[in-house]
Amino acid sequence: MTAADERNVGVGASVELMFREERGRLLASLVRRFGDLDLAEEVTSEAIEAALVHWPVDGVPARPGAWLLTTARRRAVDRLRRDRAYAARLAILQVEAERADPAPPADADADLPDERLQLFFTCAHPALPAEDRTALTLRCLAGLTTPEVARAFLVPPATMAQRIVRAKRKIREARIPFRVPGPDELPDRLPGVLQVIYSIFTEGYAASSGTRLQRLDLAEEAIRLARILRRLLPAEREVAGLLALMLLVHARRDARTGPDGELVLLADQDRGRWDQEMIDEGQALVPVALTGGPPGPYGVQAAIAALHDEAADVASTDWPQIVALYDVLLAVAPSPVVALNRAVAVAMRDGPATGLALLDGLADEPRLRGYHPYPAARGDLLRQLGRYAEAAAAYRAALDLAGTEPERAHLRRNLRAAEGHDPDRA
């Protein structure tokens, strides 16, 4: 490779990093200026392409974000000059938006303003279907391509492209405002934004299907988005709670799978492989999330994760305190999944029979019927109680529901162990 080739590779990597870090800010600024997400995306891409042409020759500018913004704005103006009817429609929409939420004057040569908070709330607007909110957030704020978003949702790229187009059309036709909700609206709107980010993280933490247990790229994008939101809304305790929760859980990522990608349970993980720097960061955020008002669900879950992370092993974990926190969580955000997790914690504190009784009390919950951790947890407790035939039946039920191959392989091992102790199968 020649020196020129190496320089081009280096510049290309610099542009890619700039794209990942600044794309959301650039897109948000352009939507704020022109009021159209499609136009903003198009000229953002054109500005990046222009950078790939000019920066290897002229060098990376001192303020690359401002360079990209200026270039994108010029492309947008050119586009609107060519299409007068389109420009007229945008102008009407822009006037209406300005009346509702006047924009501060913008200097085209200034540093790129950070208006991503408006884009967060636009992408996560309650008028959009839940799946569309998550897809649009991944596309616009995480910077994933449409095929990458499609892989995250396990759908064909064409299907995802239609979904994203539908979401943009809804924003345009319903005239969803590009703004941060006022203080009176924020408590109702912020949970939707947090749920979108947490949904991205959840798919990264435990993929819904496929050959891998984890999608680290999605989990890390969710953490990156939460860091941005934390900088933009530093006074919101649940933002701190969500970031803390994800950091404390993601810190275990390297220990959650074995050399061949197999699932490693919490009790069997090498805690020396946990990311202590990430744990320290998450633990420092927990008090921020829990003080100054009533606890929120993300702050409480972060406190539970912190207790797991600070314990030397499962046996020395403070299970009474974890059960107490689950009691709080059930009061704050009741759900069958929270009740399931609490039952497992009670089993660790009081024994498998007590935990099993709680699980059996959830048998009629519709939302647990397709959730494989429920029969898997029953199988584990039944096996501990020596009820091997029932445990095997529970593991078979979990196998029918599990999505990823590592989870299925783990359940098959448990099923074989239960069947090996069942005298009726001897």
- Tell me the β-bridge partners of 257: 263
Structural domain includes residue 226: no
12 and 81 co-located in one domain = yes
CA dist., res. 346 & res. 318, Å (int): 11
Structural domain includes residue 350: yes
The amino acid occupying position 295 is P
Domain count, the chain: 4
Q: What pLDDT score was predicted for residue 342?
A: 98
Half-sphere exposure of 68 (CA within 13 A, CB side): 33
Structural domain includes residue 258: yes
Which among 316, 332, 348 is the end of a domain? 332
343 and 325 co-located in one domain = no
Q: What pLDDT score was predicted for residue 69?
A: 87
Structural domain includes residue 194: yes
Structural domain includes residue 399: yes
Q: What pLDDT score was predicted for residue 20?
A: 64
40 and 83 co-located in one domain = yes
Q: What is the end-to-end Cα distance of the chain in Å, rounded?
A: 65
321 and 382 co-located in one domain = no
The contacts of residue 113 (CB under 8 Å, 6+ apart) are 25, 29, 106
Q: Note down the domain range covering 150.
A: 117-180+187-216
Which among 101, 129, 147 is the end of a domain? 101
416 and 382 co-located in one domain = yes
323 and 414 co-located in one domain = no
96 and 176 co-located in one domain = no
Q: Are 210 and 403 in contact (CB under 8 A)?
A: yes
191 and 254 co-located in one domain = no
Q: What pLDDT score was predicted for residue 312?
A: 95
CA dist., res. 180 & res. 186, Å (int): 8
Strand ranges inside 225-360, DSSP E:
none
Q: Which of 114, 110, 136, 111 lies closest to 123 in space, CA to CA?
A: 136
353 and 296 co-located in one domain = no
For residue 73, give the CATH number of its domain.
Answer: 1.10.1740
Q: Are 149 and 135 in contact (CB under 8 A)?
A: yes
Q: Are 256 and 269 in contact (CB under 8 A)?
A: yes
The amino acid occupying position 320 is P
Structural domain includes residue 153: yes
345 and 411 co-located in one domain = yes
396 and 413 co-located in one domain = yes
Read off the pLDDT of residues 303-353 as tens digits, 9 standing for 90 and up.
999 999 999 999 999 999 999 999 999 999 999 999 999 999 999 999 999
325 and 347 co-located in one domain = no
Instruction: Give the chain's residues under pLDDT 70.
Output: 1-21, 84-114, 151-152, 154, 422-426
Structural domain includes residue 208: yes
Which among 101, 129, 164 is the end of a domain? 101
User: Is pTM, for the whole model, over 0.95?
Assistant: no
Structural domain includes residue 228: no
**CA 286 vs CA 176, 191, 271, 305, 317: distances in Å:** 34, 18, 21, 10, 18
